[in-house]
Amino acid sequence: MKPVPIALTTFGSALLLAVVPAAGAQAATGTFRYVNAYSKLPVTVTNPADATCIATTAFGAVTNSTNRDATLYPSPACQGEPLGTLAPNGTANNLSFASIMLTPTPGPPS
């Protein structure tokens, strides 16, 4: 049997990683809406990925029309003490935040 060159093996592995989606990757269903603090225009994020930080510049009305909890952060990197969590189908006014992360809503204890 002929040995496979290392460069070819590495390339094949990289190609496989690029083509195969991450196991268990999920996304929220629905939209998350907020008002851009600078332009004052509404922004809509559709079906955002779970546990992915979304940097924003938000101030004003916020609507979480997804099936996930939306945790709001004061920093653009979803770091620090969260400002709060907006439940699925929740709305709020006069909020200011710099990033959001959507996560599955915890179910009842089993």
- Give the range of the structural domain holding residue 35, as residue numbers without chain letter: 26-104
Q: What is the pLDDT of residues 7-63, one digit of tens each?
A: 433 333 333 333 333 434 588 999 999 999 999 999 999 999 999 999 999 999 999
Cα–Cα nearest to 27, from 77, 66, 55, 79: 66
CB 46, CB 29: distance < 8 Å: no
Q: Is 110 a member of any domain?
A: no
The CATH number given to whatever domain includes residue 81 is 2.60.20.30
Number of domains in the chain: 1
Residue appearing with tokens 């907020």? 34
Q: Is 77 a member of any domain?
A: yes
Give the pLDDT score at 109: 60
Q: Is 17 a member of any domain?
A: no
Q: Is 4 a member of any domain?
A: no
For the chain, where are the E strands, in sequence order? 30-36, 42-46, 54-66, 68-73, 84-86, 90-104
Q: Is 82 a member of any domain?
A: yes
Coil vs helix vs strand at 79: coil
